[in-house]
Each structure stands twice: as C-alpha cells, then as structure tokens.
C-alpha cells in the first residue's frame, strides 16, 4: 500500500465516527454550498453554521438575495466581521440571479469573493468532481503527513489518484474535520493521531526526541537501574565499562540516585537497588 492509499484509507475510517453533521453537508445545491463557504471563511464552522441557517431561510436562491440592499445584508452579516465578504456575496447573488451555476461551470472563481477553495468545494460537493478543496488546514495536513514543501503542487498532481473510487465530498469533509479536531495548526494531537508512524512530521518529531534523549541523564539513569535490576553485586568499575558516559557525569548521576534512596553504594564499590 503506498502512502497516498494509507492516507486515504485511514482518514476515511477516522471520519466515520468523527464527521460533524450539518444540513449543508447533504445538499448538492451549489448556491447553498457557496453561501456556507463564504460565511465560513475566517469563521469557526459551528458559528458559521448558525449564520448559514438564517441566511438560507431568507435567501434560498440567489434571486432573493439579489433584491436586498447593502444595508440589509450588512445587518444580517453583523457579528461575522470582514464585511467586504457580505458585499461580494451580494454582488455574486446579482450575477447568479441572471446566470445559472451550470452556465459558468467550472469557472466559479469568476464570481466575486470565490477563490480556489470555494470553487473546488462547489465542484466537489455539487458536481461530484474529483478535486480536493485546499484551504490552509488542508495544505497543513498534506505538508505534515507527506513531508512536502509544496502541497498545492502535490495535490494537483495526486488528487485524481487519491480520489479514485471514492466520493470527493466524503474525503473533503473528512479533511476539514480532521484539520479542525486533530491536526490543528497549534499543538496537533499527534499522540492520538490515526497516522502516527505513517506521518512524516510525527516521525521527524520522534527522531528529534530520541536524539534529545540519547546521552541524556534520563537515559543514563534508566540504563543504570535496568542493569541493577538484572544483576547482583554490581561493581561500579564494571558499570562504567557498560554505560557509555563521561566518568564525571556518571558519578554525579550515581550520587543523585543514592541521595534519592534509589540505590545503595557499599564501600564505594558495589551498588545495588536500595531495599
Ligand atoms: S501525526 Fe500529528 S502532524 Fe501527523 S497528521 Fe497526525 S496530528 Fe498531524
């Protein structure tokens, strides 16, 4: 199984129990998808969802929205911030009230406020295209998992292969949720991550912590205790031959272990675990 295949398989398995449920996740209506995506830019999905529910009730099609004033849309948008998004959405609704999505397919990025991510989300969710919707969360996951520097190029090259035999929608939703819950931008939950040793970032971190551990006091203490639990009447000079460490450092560690009551040193020669 190659790395792309492992990524896909594990991610989809994870998403079975972890996908967030929202009404728009069932729709194939491009207007609803566009509306949600514009609202969700720079906004937490749960918060965006409550605004989306109000908007879609009032504007089930672009035609309804196209008739309202800038003042009205800004009033509804209040609390979401980045007010330009609301004004661009209004412009978009005016364009879409005269032109259907199908008539501008697949160039949805000609619409004001629609970037590559929203375009791909519409293509995936409404048109079932084999595309990966790439926002910063998605690019971060790819960068970390595959250990690559140019995730956009990587995705362009591999998306057809990754999305082979699966619904792109399911995959895109899984990525969204995984980036939100596990592979977060700060403090990702690597210790509970489904990918662990398959993830390049995870392995890089493991390597770093191992090299930090190597030769550290912690490692030497561990080796001493292990040796003492497995052997009787250990002589300090023998121990020094077995454990690679500077003599001064080793003496300090032995002294510390003795002070902590962990070991007993007899006649400055023999050591054993304290009883
Ligand atoms: S192991 Fe960590 S960095 Fe890698 S995908 Fe999982 S959470 Fe992200």
For the cut 90, the answer to whether the pLDDT of residue 70 exceeds it is: yes
Rounded to an integer, the average pLDDT of 10-14 is 97
Do 56 and 98 reside in the same domain of the chain? yes
Check residue 4 and give its pLDDT: 93
Residue ending a domain, among 158, 192, 226, is 192
Q: Is residue 105 one of the residues assigned to a domain? A: yes
Do 186 and 222 reside in the same domain of the chain? no
Domain count, the chain: 2
For the cut 80, the answer to whether the pLDDT of residue 185 exceeds it is: yes
Q: For position 249, which CATH number holds? A: 1.10.10
Do 70 and 150 reside in the same domain of the chain? yes
Check residue 202 and give its pLDDT: 96
The string of pLDDT tens digits covering residues 196-218 is 999 999 999 999 888 887 888 88
Measure 93 CA to ligand 1 centroid, in angstroms.
39
Q: Is residue 188 one of the residues assigned to a domain? A: yes
- Phi first, then psi: give them for residue 169, nearest 5 degrees: -60, -50
Any atom of ligand 1 within 6 Å of the Cβ of 85: no
Do 269 and 167 reside in the same domain of the chain? no
What is the C-alpha radius of gyration for the chain, rounded to an integer number of angstroms?
Answer: 29
Of the chain, the percentage scoring pLDDT greater than 70 comes to 100
Check residue 133 and give its pLDDT: 96
The string of pLDDT tens digits covering residues 151-168 is 999 999 999 999 999 999
pTM, rounded to two decimals: 0.79
Of the chain, the percentage scoring pLDDT greater than 90 comes to 71
Q: Which residue has its alpha carbon closest to ligand 1 atom 8? A: 183
Say how far apart CA 11 and CA 111 lie, in whole Å: 32
Check residue 18 and give its pLDDT: 93
Rounded to an integer, the average pLDDT of 67-79 is 96
Give me the catalytic one of 37, 206, 252, 260: 37
The string of pLDDT tens digits covering residues 99-137 is 999 999 999 999 999 999 999 999 999 999 999 999 999
Assess whether 258 carries a catalytic annotation. Answer: no
**Is residue 227 within 8 Å of residue 253, measured between CB atoms?**
no
Do 32 and 134 reside in the same domain of the chain? yes
Do the strands 234-235 and 263-266 form a parallel or antiparallel pair, or are they unpaired? unpaired
Rounded to an integer, the average pLDDT of 239-257 is 87
Check residue 274 and give its pLDDT: 83
**CA dist 183 to 12, 18, 70, 155, 237, Å?**
15, 13, 38, 18, 49
Q: Which letter, b or e, does each residue of 169-201 get, where b requires 16 or more Cβ atoms within 10 Å of its Cβ?
A: bbbbbbbbbbbeebbeeeebebeebebeebbeb
Do 241 and 163 reside in the same domain of the chain? no
Residue ending a domain, among 127, 159, 192, is 192
Do 165 and 254 reside in the same domain of the chain? no
DSSP string, 164-179: TTS-HHHHHHHHHHHH
Residue ending a domain, among 159, 192, 225, is 192
Tell me the average pLDDT of the chain.
93
Q: Which residue has its alpha carbon closest to ligand 1 atom 1? A: 190
Rounded to an integer, the average pLDDT of 255-274 is 87
Do 110 and 34 reside in the same domain of the chain? yes
Q: Which residue has its alpha carbon closest to ligand 1 atom 2? A: 190
Do 176 and 267 reside in the same domain of the chain? no
For the chain, the residue count is 275
């Amino acid at each position: 199984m190659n790395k792309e295949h492992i990524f896909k398989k594990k991610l989809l398995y994870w998403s079975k129990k972890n996908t967030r449920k929202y009404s728009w996740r069932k729709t194939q209506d491009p207007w609803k998808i566009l509306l949600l995506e514009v609202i969700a830019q720079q906004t937490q999905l749960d918060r965006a969802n409550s605004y989306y529910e109000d908007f879609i009730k009032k504007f089930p099609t672009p035609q309804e929205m196209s008739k309202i004033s800038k003042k009205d849309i800004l009033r509804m948008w209040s609390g979401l911030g980045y007010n330009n998004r609301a004004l661009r959405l209004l412009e978009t609704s005016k364009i879409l009230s005269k032109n259907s999505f199908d008539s501008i397919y697949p160039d949805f990025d000609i619409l004001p406020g629609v970037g590559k991510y929203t375009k791909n989300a519409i293509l995936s969710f409404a048109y079932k295209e084999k595309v990966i919707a790439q926002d910063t969360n998605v690019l971060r996951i790819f960068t970390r998992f595959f250990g690559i520097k140019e995730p956009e190029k990587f995705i362009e090259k591999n998306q057809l292969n990754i999305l082979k035999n699966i619904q792109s929608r399911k995959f895109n939703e899984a990525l969204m949720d995984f980036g939100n819950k596990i592979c977060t931008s700060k403090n990702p939950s690597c210790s509970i991550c489904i990918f662990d040793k398959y993830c390049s970032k995870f392995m890089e971190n493991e390597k770093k912590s191992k090299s930090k551990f190597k030769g550290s006091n912690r490692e030497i203490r561990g080796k001493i205790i292990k040796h003492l639990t497995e052997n009787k009447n250990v002589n300090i000079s023998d121990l020094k031959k077995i454990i690679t460490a500077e003599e001064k450092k080793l003496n300090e560690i032995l002294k510390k272990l003795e002070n902590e009551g962990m070991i007993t040193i007899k006649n400055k020669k023999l050591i054993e675990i304290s009883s």
